[in-house]
Structure 1
Amino acid sequence: MQSRQLMILVSLAAGIAIGGGLPLPAIAAQDDISKVTGSVDVAADARVGDVDTVNGSIAIDTNAQAGAVSTVNGSIKLADAVRAGELSTVNGSVRAGRNVRTGEVSTVNGQIFIDRGSNVAGDLSTVNGAIGLVGTRVEGDIEMVNGDLTVGANSHVLGGIHYDKPGFQWLSLGKKLPRVVVGPGAQVDGDMVFERDVDLYVHQSARIGKVTGATAKTWSGDKAPPQD
């Protein structure tokens, strides 16, 4: 997982050099949008190919479709009902609205939040950031190092959850343990493997796979337990 940062940087650089990754089949004939410096805004209902920039954020408005979406220094924001391919950034957050469909989602330094009714056709990953899901289906795994994780109400992770052991460069970020919450009606099909200490809370109505490296604390009600 710690090598993932370098892998993302290399893949982003290569993708920008050749125009990004593979677009979704339904929009393969659309034009790509590529910048080195500056933000990118995709209008509502637009149909575009890959979208990438190096220094800038990317915003895709309601009901638009895009291929792979990537930036190095900037955030990615998808409005409701967007269809997109892989989402990736190095230094920035990823935020998706309701009823969004995407491929794999990754960031190195930044948060990921995906709202109700959405589907991720791949993995979710971050090195130094939090992940929050509400009523979202993730077809792959969730991979993390630092940061809190909330598999919110009625979310479904078909893969597992893996927290990698932080390297020396991350130890200076503080002693607060990551907080992992699996909410009401949520489901994690695969194993949950923790190679570092975390605070793990699992709602009594949730269903999870085998847990290694942590002890789950059961909770009930609509609100997650308060932060220790």
Structure 2
Amino acid sequence: MSAPASAQDQDHSKVNGSIKVEDGGRAGDLDTVNGSIRVGENASAGDAETVNGSIKVYDGARVGGLSTVNGSIRVGRQVAIGDDVGTVNGGIFIDHGGNVSGGIETVNGAIGLVDTDVAEGIETVNGDLTVGIGSHVHGGIRYEKPDHQWISFKQRNPRVVIAQDARVDGPLVFEHEVSLYVHESATIGPVTGAEAVRYSGARAPGGD
């Protein structure tokens, strides 16, 4: 899917410095190397990419893909994301009513979704995953096998929670050990490489 911003919207590109789109504003692609990116409430923008910095998208915004290497991505309520969401070293959180037209991918970072629709699945290596209440992941979940460095230093297995009324279509594939908890009201596809522990109530077992 193309970015929601029109061809007339101005791109913003920097090497050092943050980029901000004001509430209700419009912009094209947003690109920086050393700096954060902020997209305000009800604003629209194209793809947002940084290397060393976080990305925050506020309620009601419409954006293209979101990508950072070293930094987190936090998305507010009722946000439409027109492409993939990805980090290398950093967590991803998408709040109520999120709609991701692509997939979600991390290497080292937790992923949290609340009432969010993901069109093309989730891929990760390390880090916890919560497919929160009412979320729908259409393309399955895959945990890739970590490299030897991670095996040497990991403290515990990643914790994967499929919460109340959540749904995961497609396979759940785990190439290394995880702790998988699935709410009794959730629906999931076939599981490979892990044993799903069913639970009831508002909180999954095994949390801090």
TM class by shorter-chain length?
A: over 0.9
Tell me, in whole angstroms, the C-alpha distance in 2 between the residues paired with 1:83 and 1:127: 25
* Bigger mean CA offset, 64-73 vs 170-179: 170-179
The equivalent of 1:227 in structure 2 is 207
Match of 2:138 among 158, 162, 166: 158
Q: Where do 5+ consecutive residues of structure 2 fail to align?
A: none
Deviation, structure 1 residue 23: 6.0
SS at match of 1:172: helix
The equivalent of 1:8 in structure 2 is none
Deviation, structure 1 residue 27: 1.6
The equivalent of 1:210 in structure 2 is 190
The equivalent of 1:92 in structure 2 is 71
**What amino acid does structure 2 have at the position aligned with 1:154?**
G
**What amino acid does structure 1 have at the position aligned with 2:133?**
A
Q: Does 1:81 align with 2:60?
A: yes
Tell me, in whole angstroms, the C-alpha distance in 2 between the residues paired with 1:25 and 1:206: 32
Count how many residue pairs are aligned between Structure 1 and Structure 2.
207
The equivalent of 1:5 in structure 2 is none
The equivalent of 2:3 in structure 1 is 24
Tell me, in whole angstroms, the C-alpha distance in 2 between the residues paired with 1:78 and 1:26: 15
SS at match of 2:157: coil
Match of 1:131 among 95, 111, 120: 111
Match of 1:142 among 122, 130, 140: 122
SS at match of 2:152: helix
Tell me, in whole angstroms, the C-alpha distance in 1 between the residues paired with 2:4 and 2:146: 38
Tell me, in whole angstroms, the C-alpha distance in 2 between the residues paired with 1:56 and 1:26: 22
TM alignment of 1:160-175, pairs within 5 A: 160-175=140-155
The equivalent of 1:71 in structure 2 is 50
Deviation, structure 1 residue 26: 4.6
Deviation, structure 1 residue 165: 0.5
**What amino acid does structure 1 have at the position aligned with 2:144?**
D
TM-score (normalizing by structure 2):
0.96
Conserved 8 A contact 1:141-1:160? yes
Conserved 8 A contact 2:139-2:170? yes
**What amino acid does structure 2 have at the position aligned with 1:36?**
V
Deviation, structure 1 residue 129: 0.4
Conserved 8 A contact 2:132-2:163? yes
Deviation, structure 1 residue 143: 0.2
TM-score (normalizing by structure 1):
0.88
Q: Where do 5+ consecutive residues of structure 1 fail to align?
A: 1-21
CA shift in 2, pair 1:169/1:24, >3 Å: same
**Percent of paired sites with the same residue:** 58
Tell me, in whole angstroms, the C-alpha distance in 1 between the residues paired with 2:3 and 2:154: 41
Q: Does 1:122 align with 2:102?
A: yes
SS at match of 1:175: coil
Q: Does 1:183 align with 2:163?
A: yes
* Bigger mean CA offset, 26-35 vs 66-75: 26-35
The equivalent of 1:15 in structure 2 is none
Deviation, structure 1 residue 171: 2.1
CA RMSD of aligned residues (A): 1.3
Tell me, in whole angstroms, the C-alpha distance in 1 between the residues paired with 2:98 and 2:111: 14
Tell me, in whole angstroms, the C-alpha distance in 2 between the residues paired with 1:23 and 1:152: 27
Tell me, in whole angstroms, the C-alpha distance in 2 between the residues paired with 1:135 and 1:27: 28
Tell me, in whole angstroms, the C-alpha distance in 2 between the residues paired with 1:58 and 1:219: 38
